Amino acid sequence: MINSSSDNVKKLNSINRRMFITGSLKFFIMVGIISRLFFLQVKENKKYLTLSDKNRIREWKLAPVRGEFHDYFGNVIAGNFEAYQLHVIPEQVENFKYVIYRLKDLLELSDTEFKKVLKKKKEIKPWETLIVSNNLSWDKFSKINNHLYDLNGVKPVISISRNYPFNENFTHIIGYVSQANEQDIENTELIKKNFVPGLKVGKIGLEKSFEEKLIGTNDIERYEVNAYGRRISQLEFQKGKKGQTLKLTVDTEIQKLANELLKEKAGSICVMDIFTGEVIAMHSSPSFNPNLFVFGISQDNWQIIRNDPMKPLLNKTLQGRYSPGSTLKPIVALSALENGIINTNFTVRCTGKTELYDQTYHCWKEEGHGYVSLRNAMKMSCDTYFYEIARKLGVDKLSETAKKFGLGKKVFDNLFEIEKDGLIPNTQWKKNALGKGWLLGETIITGIGQGYIQTTPIQLCLMTAQIANGGYKIYPKIIIDDKDKMKPDDYYTPLYKNSRNIRIIQDAMFGSTNEVMGTSYRSRIDNPKYQFAGKTGTAQVKKITERERELDLKTSEIPYEQRDHALYIAYGPYVNPRYALSIVVEHGGNGSTTAAPMAKKLFKLIIDRHQMRQSINEKKYLEI
C-alpha cells in the first residue's frame, strides 16, 4: 500500500511536470496562430480585400454607339439603326432541342447557319447569351414575337447597328464597318480599349480614317459574380459616350446623280468647290452596298463583288491611275506660256501627222487642222500643236507646272490610306526609276498626256479647280471641321507667274465647250447661269497600230478592255466660276461623246443647288 502510494506520488509528479511542458508549448502555438491571424487580417488586409473584390466583381463592356456621318445638309449617310436580334440563354430553356428546332423552322435557317448556331452554343457557358440571329427582318421578328408563348428562354432584342441608308452611293467615301479582327485590335489602341465581342470597326474609307473619333466609349456594367462566373447582382452602370458625328462637304443629291450617270460603267466623277476646296461629290463606279458587310458578307456576295471585271472594290477616284490625255493640254499650254516658250500668236501647221526623230506622231484628226493658234489648238484639241510646244518646252519644265497644280501628289495627304500618288515624269525620275535617259519622243507624247504620265481623277479635279479660281492654291477637304484647322501658310497663294496666262487658258477652255468646232460643243449650255468651260480627253489604253488606224473602228466594235478611256474636266459657271469637276469613264471611248454630256447634267444640278448650299453657310455663320 505504501509502495503503491509512493508510486502514485511519483506518477502524479511526472504527469504534472509534463502537463506544464505541454501547457507552455500550447501557449506558444496559440500565440503563433493569433499572430498569423493578425498578419492576414490586419496587416495584409488591404491586399486580400483587393483580391477578394477582384474575385467577385466583374465588368461587362457593351458595344459603344458609333458616331454618324452627315452630308452637307445634315442628311444621315451613315447612321445607326435598331437591329432586331434573337438571343437565347440556354440555361433558361427547358427543352433546348425543341426550342432550337422550332426557331430553325420559324426563321427558315439554312443547315449551315443552323450548324453555326449549334457550334456557338457549345463554345459558351449555359448562362451566357447565344445570339441565334443578329439581324432579323421585321416580318420574322414579329413572327417570333407571336410565338413567344411557345419559346421559353428566347429573347427578342433590339440592338444598335450600322446602317448606310444610301447603299452604294457613298461606299467609296465613307467605306464600311465590319467585325473587328485581331489586326484591328492590335493596331488601334482605342479599339483595344473599347473592344467587345461583335464590335464593328471601320475597315476602309473615312470609317477607318476617323475610327478614333467615331468609336465612342463603352457602356460599362459592373456585376457581382460567383466562382463560376454567373452574374449575381448588378453593382453599377456607367453610360458610355456616343462617337463624334462627322459632317461631310458632300451633297447627297449630286452624289446620287454621279452614281446614276456612271451606272453600268466603270469610272469616276468628282466635283469640287474651287475656292474652299470642299468636295461636293466624289463617286467611283461601280460601287457596292456597304450594308452587306456590316454583319459579315456572305461568300456568294463577296465572290460577285470580287470577280466583277469592272472592279467595284477599287476606288477609281483616288486609286485609279489614268493617262490624262488631252485634259493635260491646259497645263501644257500654261507651262509654255509661263516659261515664255510661246505667246498667243504662236502658230503651228497641222497636217494630221508629223515626223519627228524618225517617228510619226499622229493628230487625232487624220486630215489635220491646218494652221492653228493656241486658242484653236485647245478648242479643237489639236495634237500636232501640243507635240510642237512640248518639244520646245521640255519635260522638266512641264512637270514642274503640273506638280504645282496638284498632279502627281496625294490630294488628301493621309486621309485615305488607299490614295495613290500618280506619276508626273521628268528626266531625273526616269534616270532614277528606270535607269535610262529620257528620250525626246517621250516628251512629245507627254505633251498630249500619254506615256509615263499618270494622274488620278481627284488630281485632275484639283488641277481644274485651281485653273478656274484664277490660279490659286487650295486644299481639298471632305470633312467639315468645326474647329477650323490652321490653314496652311501657302493657302490661296498664286501658282502663276502672270495671271494673264491663266485667263488665256480659261478663255481657251471656254472656246472648247461653247464655240463651234469645240470638242465638247455639243454638251454646252447657252444659259450663262449654267454655262461652263471644259476640256475633253481621250486616253489610249494601248498603242494604236497602223492597221487599226486604217480600219478606223467605231468604239463599239473594239473589245471593252481595249477601248479608250473617256475624260472630261470642266468648271462653271463661266462668269464667276464656283465649281470644278473631273469625269473619267473607263473604256468609254471618246471624251467628247461619253464624258462631256455627263458634265452638262451635273452642272445643271450643281448650280441649281448652289443657292441652297450658300444658305446653309449663312445659317452657320448666323448661329455663331
Partner 1 sequence: MYQHTRLTNNNFTFFQKFRNFDYILLICILLLGFISLATMYSTDGGKILFHTKSHFIKLMIFTMMMLFISFINIKFWFSIGYLSYLGVVGLLVWTYFFGITSSGSQRWMNLYFINLQPSELMKIFIILCLAKYFHRMKLENVNSVYTILTSLIIILLPMGLVIVQPDLGTSVLIAVSGIAVLWFAGINHKYFIYTMLGFVISLPFVIAFLKPYQKLRVLTFLNPDKDPLGAGYQIIQSKIAVGSGGIFGKGFLKGTQSYLEFLPEKHTDFIFTLFSEEFGFVGSVVLLVIYIIIIYRIIAIGANSRSYFAKLFCYGFGAAIFVFITINMSMVLGLLPIVGSPLPIMSYGGSSMLATMIGFGIVMSARVHSQQLIA
CB of 224 to partner 1, least distance (A): 7
CB of 45 to partner 1, least distance (A): 5
DSSP 423: B
- Residues making up the chain, counted from first to last: 624
CB of 221 to partner 1, least distance (A): 17
The sheet with strand 565-572 has its strands ordered as 279-285, 267-273, 579-585, 565-572, 533-539
- Comparing CB distances to partner 1, the nearer of 227 and 622 is 227
CA nearest to 449, candidates 536, 526, 507: 536
CA triplet 192, 195, 198: central angle to 5 degrees? 140
- Comparing CB distances to partner 1, the nearer of 15 and 148 is 15
CA 411, CA 398: separation in Å to the nearest integer? 19
Among 24, 29, 497, 498, binds partner 1 (CB under 8 A): 29
Note whether 28 binds partner 1 by CB under 8 A. no
Note whether 34 binds partner 1 by CB under 8 A. yes
CB of 89 to partner 1, least distance (A): 20
CB of 16 to partner 1, least distance (A): 8
CB of 51 to partner 1, least distance (A): 5
Note whether 22 binds partner 1 by CB under 8 A. yes
Q: Hey, how many other C-beta atoms are within 10 angstroms of the C-beta on 612? A: 13
CA 423, CA 453: separation in Å to the nearest integer? 5
Q: Is the peptide bond before 309 cis (omega within 30 degrees of 0)?
A: no
Among 40, 148, 434, 616, binds partner 1 (CB under 8 A): 40
- Comparing CB distances to partner 1, the nearer of 46 and 554 is 46
CA 500, CA 506: separation in Å to the nearest integer? 10
Task: Tell me the number of residues near partner 1 by CB under 8 A.
Answer: 39
Note whether 125 binds partner 1 by CB under 8 A. no
Note whether 31 binds partner 1 by CB under 8 A. no
Note whether 7 binds partner 1 by CB under 8 A. yes
Stretch that binds partner 1, among 27-35, 64-72, 283-291, 343-351 (CB under 8 A): 27-35
DSSP 434: T
- Comparing CB distances to partner 1, the nearer of 47 and 125 is 47
Residue 572 near residue 603, CB atoms below 8 Å: yes
Task: Please enumerate in sequence order all residues whose Cβ is within 8 A of that of 558, keeping only pairs 6 or more positions apart, or say none.
Answer: none
Note whether 499 binds partner 1 by CB under 8 A. no
Here's the x/- map for partner 1, 211-240, by CB under 8 A: it reads as -------------xxxxx---x--------
Could you give the maximum distance between any two Cα atoms of the chain, in Å? 159
Strand 479-480 relative to strand 246-248, pairing: antiparallel
Orientation of helix 329-338 relative to helix 499-514, angle to 10°: 150
Task: Report DSSP letters for 315-362, one per residue.
Answer: -HHHH--B--GGGGHHHHHHHHHHTTS--TT--EEE-SEEEETTEEEE
CB of 124 to partner 1, least distance (A): 20
Residue 367 half-sphere exposure, CB side, CA atoms within 13 Å? 0
Stretch that binds partner 1, among 2-10, 119-127, 437-445, 469-477 (CB under 8 A): 2-10
| H or E segment to which residue 231 belongs | strand 231-238
Note whether 20 binds partner 1 by CB under 8 A. no
CB of 59 to partner 1, least distance (A): 16
- Comparing CB distances to partner 1, the nearer of 2 and 33 is 33
Among 51, 434, 440, 551, binds partner 1 (CB under 8 A): 51
| Dihedral sign computed on CA atoms, order 356, 361, 366, 369 | negative
Note whether 47 binds partner 1 by CB under 8 A. yes
Stretch that binds partner 1, among 15-23, 428-436, 531-539, 554-562 (CB under 8 A): 15-23
Note whether 24 binds partner 1 by CB under 8 A. no
Among 5, 49, 283, 290, binds partner 1 (CB under 8 A): 49
CB of 29 to partner 1, least distance (A): 5
CA 557, CA 299: separation in Å to the nearest integer? 36
What are the two backbone dihedrals, phi and then psi, of residue 322, each rounded to the nearest 5 degrees? -120, 150
Cell of 57: 466583381
- Comparing CB distances to partner 1, the nearer of 18 and 431 is 18
**Contact residues: partner 1, CB under 8 A:** 7-8, 10-12, 14-16, 18-19, 22-23, 26, 29-30, 32-34, 36-38, 40-42, 44-45, 47-49, 51-52, 55-56, 224-228, 232
